[in-house]
Chains A and B, each alone.
Chain A
Amino acid sequence: GDSVTQMEGPVTLSEEAFLTINCTYTATGYPSLFWYVQYPGEGLQLLLKATKADDKGSNKGFEATYRKETTSFHLEKGSVQVSDSAVYFCALSGDSGGGADGLTFGKGTHLIIQP
C-alpha cells in the first residue's frame, strides 16, 4: 500500500537558518503530494501541494518539488522564523486526486526555531 516516510524530529534550528525536511513516498500511479502544518493548539492546515511530476508547490516562503525519479517531496525554506515552529506532515493521495482519495500521512516532523 501507499506510504510516506519523513525525517524524525524534533528538528531545532536558529532563526534565519535554512530548513530542509525530507519526505519520500511509495505509491502506485501518480499521486498528488502535500505538506500540512499543525501549529500548537490548532488543526491541520494545508501548506502547499503538487499534483504532477516536476511541479513545485510554494507558500509563505516554503517550497517543495515533486520528484518522481527519487519519489521525494522535500520541504525547504531559505530563512526560518520563530513563528514557523510547528509540526509538519508530508502526505499523499491516490492518483484520482486529493478530494477523491483518503490521504496517507507521514508521522510528522516537529520543528523548533530558536531566536
Chain B
Amino acid sequence: DAGVTQSPTHLIKTRGQQVTLRCSPKSGHDTVSWYQQALGQGPQFIFQYYEEEERQRGNFPDRFSGHQFPNYSSELNVNALLLGDSALYLCASSGGTIYNEQFFGPGTRLTVL
C-alpha cells in the first residue's frame, strides 16, 4: 500500500516565478492538507481540500492556491514567488476509517533564489 507521495522532490525557482507541487494521497483517503515547514520550524497549515473544494485555510496569502482532482490527488500552486517562500512543503492525507489521523508525505524542498 503506497503512502502519500509528492513530486518533485526538490525544486529551484527564481523570485517572481510560479510553481506547482503535486501530491497523491494514501489509498482510501479523500482529504488532502498542505503545510509549509521553514527550516528549524514546525509545519504551518496552508489549506485543506475535500471533495474537490477548499474546506479550510490557514493564514497564507492568495498567492497560495490549490486544487483537488476527482481521484483525490492535489496540487499546490504558488504565484509571484518570494525568497521567504523557500521551505519544505508537506502534503498530508486523511480519511477512511481513522478520520482523525493525518499521514504525511516526504515533502518537496522549494528553494527560491
Using CB atoms and an 8 Å cutoff, list the residues of chain A in contact with chain B: 4, 32, 36, 42-46, 49, 51, 89, 91, 93, 97-108
Contact = CB atoms under 8 A, between A and B. Distances in A.
B104 interface: yes
27 contacts: A36-B104, A42-B106, A43-B90, A43-B106, A45-B104, A46-B101, A89-B42, A93-B100, A97-B99, A97-B100, A98-B94, A98-B100, A98-B102, A99-B95, A99-B99, A99-B100, A100-B31, A100-B55, A100-B100, A101-B48, A102-B46, A102-B47, A102-B48, A102-B56, A103-B102, A105-B42, A107-B40
A99 B101 contact: yes
Interface in B69-113: 90, 92, 94-95, 98-107
Interface of B: 31, 33, 35, 40-48, 55-56, 58, 90, 92, 94-95, 98-107
Contacts of A51: 100
A51 B99 CA distance: 12
Contacts of B101: 46, 49, 98-99
Contacts, number: 72
Contacts of B104: 36, 43-45
Contacts of B95: 99
A103 B45 contact: yes
Given A51-B100, A106-B42, A107-B42, A99 B58 contact: no
Contacts of B41: 107-108
B43 A44 contact: yes
A97 B48 CA distance: 13
Contacts of A108: 40-42
